[in-house]
Amino acid sequence: MSDKLQIKKLHALSSENRKFSFTIPLKNKIRIGKRDYIVQLRADDKHGPYVLWKNRKYPVEIVRSRQNRYEILFNDISYTFTVETPFSLQRMKVLNAQRGKTEQESVRAPMPGKIIDVLVREGSPVLRGEPVVILEAMKMQNEIQSPVNGIIKSVSAKANTNVMKDDILVEIKVD
Amino acid sequence: MDLSGKSYKAFLERQEALKKQYSRKQAEKQHSKGKLTAIERISLLFDKNTFEEIDAFVTPANQPVEFGKVERTYGDGVIVGHGKINGRLVFAYAQDFTVMGGSLGFIHARKIAKIQEMALKMGSPIIGMMDSGGARIQEGVASLAGYASIFHNCISSSGIIPQIAVIMGPCAGGAVYSPALMDFTFMVNHTSYMFVTGPNVVKEVLNEDVTFDQLGGAEVHAQKSGVAQMIYDDEENTILALKKFLAYLPSNNVENSPVVADEKSTPDVNEKLRDIVPDDPNKPYDVKDVIHLVVDKNSFFETAELFAPSIVTGFARLKGKTIGVVANQPKVLAGVLDIDSSTKGARFIRFCDAFNIPILTFEDVPGFLPGVDQEHRGIIKNGAKLLFAYSEATVPRITIILRKAYGGAFIVMNSKSLGGDFSFAWPTAEIAVMGPDGAVAILYRRELAESKNPAEMKNELVKKYRDKIANPFIADELGYIDEVIDPAVTRKKIISAFAALSNKWVKVPARKHGNIPL
Amino acid sequence: MKIKKILIANRGEITIRIMKTARLMKINTVVIRTAVEPNAMYLSFADEIYDNTADDSEIPVFLNIEKLISIALKTKADAIHPGYGFLAENAYFAQKCLENKIIFIGPSPDALYKMGNKTIARKLALNNGIPMALGSEGNISNEEEAVDIASKIGYPVIIKAASGGGGRGMRIVRKSEEMEKFFMIASKEAEKAFNDPSVFIEKYIENPKHIEFQILGDTTGNVIHLGERECSIQRKHQKLLEEAPSCALDARLRKKMGNMAVRIAKAVDYYSAGTVEFLLDSDRNFYFMEMNTRIQVEHPVTEIVTGIDLIEQQIRIANGEALKFRQEDIKLKGWAIECRINAEDVQAGFAPDPGKIEKLSLPSDPYVRIDTGIRAGSAIVSSYDSMIAKLIISGKDRKEAIKNCKMALDKVWIKGTKTTLPFFRMLVRNEKFQNGDFTTSFIEKDLDKYYFNSEYEEMLAAWLATKLFVEENLEENSIAVDFENVKELSPWLLNKRINQF
């Protein structure tokens, strides 16, 4: 399939928009400067899955994956990447140019209740679906989730305060 | 045949003309918008060299034109044909925006209708990729009739072959009914939209300013209207996901779903399942954590993730075989059932029933969402949809009660009395007519009113109630559930239960169809 | 030895630590099992377990004086070791032990009381000529007094709560115009946190180093110090990394500060283990802050460089024995660094990440000492603390200790929660840290990133993501669909399905 659209390269985009490019077919080798170093994905009973690189074992865990978005725990640090084809990368550029100024999204209380916990602060990146506030209502704690991917612009919700339906909890600058 | 002869030359010339029509320049017009051409989409979707196009050369040139002019083109703006996807025969049509804006004229519609009829005859799934400016105004009423025939075919095939719509560009006006009639709709974010009436008319009639995306973009349909079940940020990933999705579905309503072996050898017993439900009954958890550990590793494909998130639906595999999963989601609105979640669940269940896909239900529901809004908008008849769908389904149905199962919601979520085949409960299950707080308030109303310290008395009574009533053991002893199980062996239990049900057959009543509340 | 059985009124790593020494001294230990962590690691080390899982009261047993005393009496324990935190510095608890003829392994109720009250402690320091940051010598009753005193001390000043610490009720004031406002805020906060709005004022020392001295005293009046610990690596007043000794001190300064530490301890007739905290400014002036009247979390680094088992000393002192060493006998040899590995997400601003530890693999090199209360399967309970383990590394000098630290940190594998490991991996590679060039504001001001990852790590993670994508989507049989099975429909079913209509 890859040669259908002539996919010769894939780009892994980090959540901070750093791009890592790899040629396809993907080799178990990474080039740094003039040398190629071997990299392998393995697993054993003691450590679980790990990446072998320059004779060192790096523990890895795939925390979640959705179609082309991967959240990876690599040596105790979380990274989120989306894997893009050259075409989807180009598409991103086209769409970003068109949309111009990035929009803002307000997260509102879906029902009246009490804020138990605020899980984000100004500047935190969020993914669509990630919880931002815990709201107690109907005798249960509910996760209020971010509807978009973006960065928290402002936090109005305060722990231990009551909110009404549609009160603004958090504002997000959309990616 | 003489390769230099006249007939062969004509043949080659025609091929050249077709190639010219699908020129680089046209392709670039699509690419500059971040979109792929119809041919590119088809070749991404189908296995290498398996796609056979039909009616590539039909032209609208001879169609009566009521107003304006129509160019002579081949194909009339849609590519239709059949091929193999992951080795299985599938029919598809892809509207071509580069040819007359993909507008639907008489011939265009007839091509689609032809391929729909073929798919139905062969008992194979059909995929429609929409990217069209809408009806071809020049051809007038004929193009409307074209739409109607497409809709009619959708309905004739409904519940017989899987029909999937992929919206990859505009799909407006009457055209939107085709995806609405199909089983599942995929949409591409930002470059596709669906609405009955566009922003221009909205502005004219209602003086409301709204963009295409705000009115009918992918996110709107995924989150608010529920018209689209799967959305992705770009076309390639949409198509790749579609291929994965198809592998869960049977080709028609008589065959079984294909099998994809459990390569990761998911363990049948997993102690992590014991740690998921918190001890505090008011603390939420993510039911997907349970689902991921019970089904084959990495096999859960969620549908309608962003719509009515208080219920989770999707396909998964158990030892390679497809099942449908329905689960209340405690971390959204406490997992209550409301209008949207009831309809989301009901539609999913009816699809599974139509296509012989067994259903696995995870239950943790405190009841229905109260409120004037829900009552006035008809929670009564919408909740009834879910009940109807479960009860009507003759596929094997298993329920696992994880925690709360109160009142009407307990009945609705595939209880045994509705024909559920097996009901298992975790030790944390609370099966009762009503939750402890409500029950105590009613049963001990007088005592609480007369008490000197009602809050303390209530707490004590709630605790007593919880210990005595809100547990699965009474239901177990009365036979309303089959067994209280150790969460760690859930997968093992379900696999053996479904194996016992593999030959299940229930005769459906002899009637044209039921009258499900709509 | 009078003490034959010790009840340890604590849980987690310090309880295990105490039991290790008690075992060497052939003393029996009793610990308490709670409903919150009925399978905790510390239970496996004890000679006797008192089962308290039926207790469902709001107050945890480790804060319940009556209950602890009754458990000690029931189990016939001679002594109670309070560990750190909980009731370790509670004078009333120590008093109750005394009244019930239970030996409290710690200082006297009187010393606990005096050093527990900041105002009294400061008065004692003042009267004994201990250098300190000038302050209000008593609680401030109102804004006017605050302004007045502050102008005498000289800005910047810091308002502090009289009855508690941890940053609450604390405000730095740099300008006299701001004093009124901050005074109100600080006392309100203190009232909320400690039920006591009383605050006092001190001179604020900018960007100091936090240096503390370990004290040992016996009941015959001997008090010595065991050198200092460098604890400037803190975040929001929580220590993350401690060292012994400190590269900021030379022998002369050590002697001077040590003597002051001993002096203040003697002023309350201190016995058992304790710690005197100082702030050291950039001109090598030091100021007494407070005294911690308990064994501290970071005690292991002192044990390594002095070769003295502090828990053993505590038990002997409580047993009535005199100290076997004099000040001249105390020699500091080598270097020790302690990293507190907590279940916190450094990428989310050190937010706690409670969960269950699935796998735990710790190095066992000779230069590594691990003090932990967590093993595979343990849950990190948010109602206690988020500590997973203390990684204590030694070396012949600071450079070697840091090098050993780097190696040891790379050998730690913890699966189940996010941890502060990436923070330490970054810290040991940080040039300023390596040069000893840091103060208590280091983390907030001098670090632009809180965790370590080489650019290769991100690239390797990207490679992995790409590899997964290729496997799931681009390979020939990404989805190995088996259609043969489809044909295996039982005749029963096939017949029914076809003939149903």
Q: Is B250 on the interface with C (CB under 8 A)?
A: yes
Instruction: Kindly indicate the confidence band of residue A140, based on its pLDDT and cuts at 50, 70 and 90.
Output: confident
Instruction: Kindly indicate the confidence band of residue B223, based on its pLDDT and cuts at 50, 70 and 90.
Output: very high
- Tokens 């900041």 correspond to C118
Domain parsing of chain A, residue ranges: 9-98, 104-174
Please tell me the distance from the alpha carbon of residue C88 to that of residue C293, in angstroms, as a whole number: 8
> What is the helix (H) or strand (E) element at residue B410, kind and residue range?
helix B407-412
Which of chain A's residues have a Cβ under 8 Å away from the Cβ of B37? Answer: none
The CATH classification number of A104-174 equals 2.40.50.100
Q: Is B40 on the interface with A (CB under 8 A)?
A: yes
Rounded (10°) CA dihedral B170, B176, B178, B179: 70
Q: Is B396 on the interface with C (CB under 8 A)?
A: no
- How many CB pairs below 8 Å do chains A and B form together? 85
Q: Would you give the distance in Å from CA B371 to the centre of its chain?
A: 28
Distance from CA of B420 to the nearest CA of C (A): 19
Range with the poorest average pLDDT among A161-165, C98-102, C171-175: A161-165
For residue B516, give both structure tokens.
């499900």
First vs last C-alpha separation in chain A: 30
- Is 3.30.470.20 the CATH classification of the domain at C209-446? yes
Nearest to B254 among C483, C488, C497 (CB): C497
| Phi and psi torsions of C436, nearest 5° | 75, 15
> What is the helix (H) or strand (E) element at residue B21, kind and residue range?
helix B6-21
- Tokens 């056979």 correspond to B52
Amino acid type, B378: G
Please tell me the distance from the alpha carbon of residue B56 to that of residue C256, in angstroms, as a whole number: 96
- Look at the domain C5-105 and name its fold: Rossmann fold (3.40.50)
Q: Is A123 on the interface with C (CB under 8 A)?
A: no
Which of chain A's residues have a Cβ under 8 Å away from the Cβ of C459? Answer: 20, 30
Which of chain A's residues have a Cβ under 8 Å away from the Cβ of B223? Answer: 147
Nearest to C493 among B258, B505, B507 (CB): B505
Which of chain B's residues have a Cβ under 8 Å away from the Cβ of C497? Answer: 253-254, 356
Which of chain B's residues have a Cβ under 8 Å away from the Cβ of A138? Answer: 333-334, 336, 366
Q: Is the pLDDT of residue C394 over 70?
A: yes
| B224-243 pLDDT, tens digit each | 999 999 999 999 999 999 99
Q: Is C359 on the interface with A (CB under 8 A)?
A: yes
Q: Output the pLDDT for position A141.
A: 76
Per 3-state DSSP, chain B is made up of helix, strand and coil in percentages (nearest 5) of: 45, 20, 35
Bridge pairing between strands C238-244 and C209-217: unpaired
| C289-343 pLDDT, tens digit each | 999 999 999 999 999 999 999 999 999 999 999 999 999 999 999 999 999 999 9
| Residue in A closest to C476 by C-alpha | A1
The sign one gets for the Cα dihedral B104, B107, B108, B109 is positive
Q: Output the pLDDT for position B71.
A: 67
Buried b (16+ CB within 10 A) or exposed e, C298-328: bbbbbbbbbebbbbebbbbbbbeeebeeeee
State the helix-helix crossing angle for A86-99 and B235-246, rounded to 10 degrees: 130
Which of chain A's residues have a Cβ under 8 Å away from the Cβ of C422? Answer: 75-77
Q: Where are the alpha helices (DSSP H) in B98-234?
A: 106-122, 141-157, 177-181, 199-206, 212-216, 218-220
Q: Is the pLDDT of residue C453 over 80?
A: no
The sign one gets for the Cα dihedral C16, C22, C24, C26 is negative
Instruction: Kindly indicate the confidence band of residue B138, based on its pLDDT and cuts at 50, 70 and 90.
Output: confident
Catalytic residues of C: 294
Q: Is B83 on the interface with A (CB under 8 A)?
A: no
| B96-119 pLDDT, tens digit each | 998 888 889 888 999 999 999 999
Distance from CA of B234 to the nearest CA of A (A): 6
Q: Is the pLDDT of residue B250 over 80?
A: yes
First vs last C-alpha separation in chain C: 92
Beta strand ranges found along C293-381 (DSSP E): 335-342, 344-345, 351-352, 355-356, 359-361, 368-372, 379-380
> What is the helix (H) or strand (E) element at residue C243, kind and residue range?
strand C238-244
Q: Where are the alpha helices (DSSP H) in B209-338?
A: 212-216, 218-220, 235-246, 287-294
DSSP state of C206: S
Please tell me the distance from the alpha carbon of residue C200 to that of residue C162, in angstroms, as a whole number: 6
Q: Is the pLDDT of residue B299 over 50?
A: yes
| Best to test chain C binding among B255, B270, B456, B501 (most C CBs inside 10 Å) | B255
| C125-137 pLDDT, tens digit each | 989 999 988 877 7
Bridge pairing between strands A69-74 and A56-66: antiparallel
- Give SS3 for B273: helix
Q: Where are the alpha helices (DSSP H) in C100-236?
A: 109-116, 118-127, 143-153, 176-194
| Best to test chain A binding among B36, B212, B234 (most A CBs inside 10 Å) | B234
Please tell me the distance from the alpha carbon of residue C142 to that of residue A89, in angstroms, as a whole number: 63
Q: What is the DSSP string of C63-127?
A: G-HHHHHHHHHHTT-SEEE--SSTTTT-HHHHHHHHHTT-EESSS-HHHHHHHHSHHHHHHHHHH
Amino acid type, C438: F
- Give SS3 for B147: helix
Please tell me the distance from the alpha carbon of residue C33 to that of residue C11, in angstroms, as a whole number: 9
| B453-477 pLDDT, tens digit each | 888 888 888 888 887 776 788 888 8
Catalytic residues of B: 173-174, 408-409
| Residue in B closest to C490 by C-alpha | B503
Please tell me the distance from the alpha carbon of residue C390 to that of residue B392, in angstroms, as a whole number: 60
| Best to test chain C binding among B254, B263, B271, B353 (most C CBs inside 10 Å) | B254
Instruction: Kindly indicate the confidence band of residue B2, based on its pLDDT and cuts at 50, 70 and 90.
Output: low
Give the rounded percent of residues in chain B with a pLDDT score beyond 70. 97
Distance from CA of A154 to the nearest CA of B (A): 23
In degrees, rounded to 5, the angle at the alpha carbon of residue C70 between the alpha carbons of residues C65 and C76 is: 130
| Residue in C closest to A83 by C-alpha | C466
Distance from CA of B259 to the nearest CA of C (A): 5
Q: Output the pLDDT for position C234.
A: 93
Instruction: Kindly indicate the confidence band of residue C152, based on its pLDDT and cuts at 50, 70 and 90.
Output: confident
Mean pLDDT score across all residues of chain B: 91
With an 8 Å Cβ cutoff, are B48 and A140 in contact? Answer: no
**What average pLDDT does range A126-144 have in this prediction?**
78
Q: What is the DSSP string of B58-108?
A: --GGGS--SSS-----SGGGEEEEEEEETTEEEEEEEE-TTTGGG-B-HHH
Q: Is the pLDDT of residue B209 over 80?
A: yes
| Residue in C closest to B354 by C-alpha | C497
> In terms of pTM, does the model score above 0.90?
no
With an 8 Å Cβ cutoff, are C356 and B243 in contact? Answer: no
CB B189 within 8 A of CB B218: yes
CB C479 within 8 A of CB B244: yes
| Best to test chain B binding among A6, A9, A41, A67 (most B CBs inside 10 Å) | A67
CATH of C134-203, one of 1.10.3720.10, 3.40.50.720, 3.60.150.10, 3.30.1490.20: 3.30.1490.20
Distance from CA of C486 to the nearest CA of B (A): 5
Range with the poorest average pLDDT among B485-499, C414-428, C435-449, C483-497: C483-497
Q: What is the ipTM of this complex?
A: 0.88
With an 8 Å Cβ cutoff, are C500 and B86 in contact? Answer: no
